[in-house]
Structure 1
Amino acid sequence: MAENKVTFGLKNCYYAPYSFDELGNIVYETPKHIPGAVELSNEPRGDLIEFYADNQVYYSAPNNQGYESTLTIAKIPDHFMINVLGEEKDESDGTITEVANAKTKPFALMFEFDGDIRATRHVMFNCTANRPNVSSSTKTDSVEPNTNELSLVASPIEMNDKLVVKTKTTETTPQSVYNMWFDSVYNTTPVAVTGVTLEPASISLAVGEYQQMAVTLEPINASNKDVTYTTSDDTVATVTSGGLVEAIAVGTATITVTTADGGFTDTATVTVA
């Protein structure tokens, strides 16, 4: 597949705070949308390490310490101020108070740059945020909306025995992974499929009727969710790539679903009256 020649634009900004479970594993919350993204700049942190000897560079090595980032947005959502920066909301009157000694939460930041082939989706796994700039100005003969700047630091974090900073999609990323990018934080180690269930297990249709099949993969966070459908007799019943069954003629046919990962299968019987 052809690669993007250019990238441009910024949209689909999400954040997902995280904590650690009793085994020390990172547990991310469900990503929340940050609307109104205007600009994101990521400046690398960590200078190249150079050691001189014998009148020359004797040894050099990269020093990746992540990024210093600035996210410019139309307005920082109240839920970000509460969930990440530790501000407190009074449910009785709806006010939000900035607390000087509040404990901030680390989070993953997800966003998307458009491209001429397909948008590139990113996730930076370990971000911390500083308090945003707060400013405004009086109206004149024209009105220009305010923006907020959020200063972030994206640091490396150990995940699956690797120090990772960020992950992005490419033109060859499976569509199932691409489509689910903002539903949960991407896991750097693919989660293998262990089984599949096709429902309903048996169907009775009249000629010309349709039935949408439903598939459940195990585990539910499997990385590759692609499946294929086949029919044992397309003169009796056909099935589309999306699992829509159509009754063609009187008889019985078997619909089979097969996972792209591992080749797990399940079947359903279609009886056409």
Structure 2
Amino acid sequence: MGYTSTLKFVNLGVKRRLFRKAHKQPHHRWDSIKNQLNELLKYGRIETTLTKAKELQGYAEELIYLAKKKNNSENSLLVESMLRTPQGRRKLYEYYVPLYRDRPFFFTRIINQWRFRLRDAAPMAFIEFIDRPGELRPAKPVGYDRIKYIYYEIQKNRRNLKKYYHVAKKFNLIDSNDQIVSDFSQPAISKQEEWQSDDEEDIIIDENLLQKYKQYGDQMLPGPLKGREPFYVDLPLPSLVEKQFLNYRKKFKP
């Protein structure tokens, strides 16, 4: 057995690539993530490579999580930094945030197509938001609702009891005699608490400082008139010529 064959056995189970490398330049990668995130918000489901879908999933989960939290300047800036179009912004705040109001996490799923793209043999996949109309299967509950779901499932048959035995044991749904508890009122996991108060509410404002600046009256520079217009504006979808122009990328020259 040669050196190369021996090295294959030594490296079994070793992660070869520590991070996903979808693009050569960092700004190309960041631009692609924002564009795909905007398409995912508008259409609810997009087709891409399996590597890009796994990379995009973390940003989509974080975007919904930050948009659900109480409004403050930091979260608003983070959300706005990832949005590209008014259509995506409207879909996020008017559809997805109310839809996932009672769901703490896991808002997306990746469906592996188990096929390869013809030109470069890249594995293809779908990434989509859950609980949308026309999905293949409903999403499983998470958090406190998952514990309730497991409790009612293990009462149906022995197969489910064997399937969820270790999880039920962890959350005290099964007693020391391996019997299902009769009362579910006090499980080991508590129901999800409300969001904690933001730091902005704890800021102490100096009254003397307010009195000092009262002499200046109103704001020194009036705000622009365009800023008073409605924030959400429905723009028409881009035409074929605009799509071709947006998809055109100049060759990078450092």
Same fold (TM over 0.5): no
Q: Name whichever structure is richer in helix by fraction.
A: 2
TM-score, normalised relative to structure 2: 0.22
TM-score, normalised relative to structure 1: 0.21
